[in-house]
Structure 1
Amino acid sequence: MYKLLAKLNKLLLPSFTKQGLDLAKAKKWQMAIIAWRYFVTTKALDQ
């Protein structure tokens, strides 16, 4: 399930790394997306 979510994240959610976003200046909604992507990615790798 998490591998599917990780693929959907890659397709649908923006990649802030490619945009060069500074985490110190990130807005709360951007931090929420980063946290969600991190959570799903770590769970997908554990399986």
Structure 2
Amino acid sequence: MKKHFFKTLAKINKVVLPSYTKKGVDLAKASKLQMAIFGYKLWVTKNALD
């Protein structure tokens, strides 16, 4: 159940949230908001794969 929830959330995030790696944003120079979004997407992806 948990894995299914995170997989669905990951699909929604892919559509709604921007992809900073495709845009070539340097993570060392990213703003706090960009880092928060990146971290959130990473957390969702990690939980979807477990």
TM-score by length of structure 1 reads: 0.96
**What are structure 1's unaligned runs of at least 5 residues?**
none
Aligned with residue 18 of structure 2, among 14, 18, 31 = 14
Q: Which residue of 2 aligns with 1:27?
A: 31
Q: Which residue of 1 aligns with 2:43?
A: 39
TM-align CA RMSD: 0.3
Q: Which runs of 4+ in 1 moved over 2 A?
A: none
Query: In the aligned structure 1, how far is the partner of 2:45 from the partner of 2:13?
Result: 9
TM-score by length of structure 2 reads: 0.90
**What are structure 2's unaligned runs of at least 5 residues?**
none
| Number of residue pairs aligned between Structure 1 and Structure 2 | 46
